[in-house]
Structure 1
């Protein structure tokens, strides 16, 4: 392969990645339909009969408001799925409390805010249904948008080794103009206004574009800070801003800094949920599409993504950095 052919191939790959925007990072074949009503499975129970329920709801992976695409059609939208689960818990009179099992580095600003407000509705009550206590339990990672969602809960708990924080906003923009120049590719743009192609990857960013994007990022940042301050009664907003510099914290540090309420395991979070709900015995339930089996509280939901691991017929993944190209993100992305 000649050097020029190699460079041209790299250009094609770069353009494909850039133009993918918030598109899928994997292509897979899966026979699982995503349109079936949620089923319920008990994953833990105390002794007794006719027990009230504690709902265990996952906030997992990249938080985006977009369907995953596969070669056989569209898959699940993780934001829509989370909202569906939360509303099922909110409308079930047997559910007395909800535990959010968070394992997410965050995601888009809007998707994080959608789930945050849905958790707040469940906690406070809406549409004639009473409010229910919510405990957020951070597992490996509950950073940025993952932490934003947790702030809607009554309490935030984490493992001592969890990673949280990363309070802030980021937007990535690739600039492939130098690469294009090397291989002799030019880009011609016809636009209705000077900012219509703001953020284009085919040329360097201009100062007025940067100013526009920075204004939006500052606006979304202030919203994040306000959410954290509302959740952390003992932290003044000035202190929240000191902590909201993008830094990540271990569970131990987060507890010391007042960003979470307690340390412990998922089992302890479930026991705490029972305590707040005022029930002595309960069964823990998870919601899922009617496929697969869950044997414990650490089981993953059987959504179409699981089939990527079970049947990796086609699995062409792009780096996660490409997902956030040109989008405002509450995201920890090392």
Structure 2
């Protein structure tokens, strides 16, 4: 009887790689992914640097295939960076586009920084020399919001919705006075300065008469410019009438109409139709302008949110920021608004 063949014994499996090698592989994969992400971020940054942030046109309403265009430019929210730069770029694009025959300027703003309001006003003045502008005011067109509307020029028609608030003509430089509180707690502010007026608006010290005189001159200058801007932009109002209205008061749509601050109670559709009539256009493509949201917009938004949260719980940071002077054409100011 033949012998039974021996049982097959498979060779033993190869020994498992040492644990240290597994971690090395994982580390290399992680570094590879990190490198790819870094290269992508650098590519995006280079493209943004090379091309610059530019607004892109988007269809809003009207005839999609119409050759002639009407641009909608919306100034909304507080007038301050970074929005200011984007609005200026949109104005530039509108100005350079020959197909755009006119502009509907949408205002929904409580105002903002003096310098930013004037920059936008100045660019709108230049635009109005080339193309007619009609203004449509929505919820709020106050202070700097009303200021920029004057850039449309004296021939522009100003529409307001029935519930719009307008006016608040004036200037504000926020200031805190916590000198009594500081005195109670034995806190003194004694900065080293090169001149007696270097540390004006210090919230830990009462304002001195000479400091009040300096800031009064600054505010009066900004206020006179505001009055002159309205005087130039509103043919129905003269200097005396404007100064009578310029108490900082907010006006309803009807009050604004009665006082010559606006021309018509209506909506942005009415403003658009009025502009089409002025231009003699039976059909037009209504367009608006937006900016792309890139990787760095998301990252910067996250960092700004974190910074805002940090500032909200840092009273010392708020105290130092309170000492930074900011002249504003602004209605409804509250602490911290200029930093938001």
Q: Please give the TM-score of this superposition, normalised by the length of structure 2.
A: 0.73
In structure 2, what is the Cα distance between the partners aligned to 1:315 and 1:168?
A: 28
Q: Deviations over 1:46-92 (max 9, x none)?
A: 37x3431111111111112x3xxxxxxxxxx1111111000100000
In structure 1, what is the Cα distance between the partners aligned to 2:60 and 2:322?
A: 33
Query: For structure 1, which runs of at least 5 residues remain unmatched after alignment?
Result: 1-30, 67-76, 125-130, 293-302
CA contact (8 A) 1:142 1:165 kept: yes
In structure 1, what is the Cα distance between the partners aligned to 2:162 and 2:200?
A: 43
Specify the alignment match of 1:46 in structure 2. Answer: 63
Give the deviation of 1:288 after TM superposition: 1.1
Q: Deviations over 1:104-156 (max 9, x none)?
A: 111111111110010000011xxxxxx00111111100000100100111222
Mean CA deviation greater in 202-211 or 181-190 = 181-190
Specify the alignment match of 1:62 in structure 2. Answer: 78
1:244 corresponds to which of 235, 243, 246: 246
CA RMSD of aligned residues (A): 3.0
Give the deviation of 1:287 after TM superposition: 1.0
2:194 corresponds to which of 181, 192, 195: 192
Mean CA deviation greater in 268-277 or 137-146 = 268-277
CA contact (8 A) 1:96 1:132 kept: yes
In structure 1, what is the Cα distance between the partners aligned to 2:322 and 2:188?
A: 25
Q: Please say if 1:103 is aligned against 2:108.
A: yes
Query: For structure 2, which runs of at least 5 residues remain unmatched after alignment?
Result: 1-40, 313-317, 334-340
Q: Please say if 1:217 is aligned against 2:219.
A: yes
Specify the alignment match of 1:168 in structure 2. Answer: 170
Q: Using a 3 Å threshold, how does the CA distance of structure 1 residues 314 and 210 change in structure 2: closer, same or farther? A: closer
Specify the alignment match of 1:327 in structure 2. Answer: 326
After the TM superposition, list the runs of 4 or more consecutive aligned residues in structure 1 that deviate by more than 4 angstroms.
31-35, 312-315, 322-325
Secondary structure at 1:63 match in 2: coil
Secondary structure at 1:99 match in 2: strand
In structure 2, what is the Cα distance between the partners aligned to 1:328 and 1:99?
A: 28
CA contact (8 A) 2:114 2:327 kept: yes
CA contact (8 A) 1:198 1:209 kept: yes
CA contact (8 A) 2:84 2:120 kept: yes
In structure 1, what is the Cα distance between the partners aligned to 2:228 and 2:322?
A: 26
CA contact (8 A) 2:72 2:103 kept: yes
Specify the alignment match of 1:283 in structure 2. Answer: 285
Secondary structure at 2:229 match in 1: helix
Specify the alignment match of 2:6 in structure 1. Answer: none
Specify the alignment match of 1:118 in structure 2. Answer: 123
In structure 2, what is the Cα distance between the partners aligned to 1:207 and 1:324?
A: 18
Higher relative contact order (CA closer than 8 Å, sequence separation 6+) = 1
Specify the alignment match of 1:17 in structure 2. Answer: none
Mean CA deviation greater in 88-97 or 153-162 = 153-162
Specify the alignment match of 2:236 in structure 1. Answer: 234
Give the deviation of 1:178 after TM superposition: 2.8
Larger Rg, first or second structure (1 or 2): 2
CA contact (8 A) 1:172 1:324 kept: no
In structure 1, what is the Cα distance between the partners aligned to 2:79 and 2:323?
A: 11
Q: Deviations over 1:142-180 (max 9, x none)?
A: 000100100111222110110110111111111233333
CA contact (8 A) 1:174 1:325 kept: no
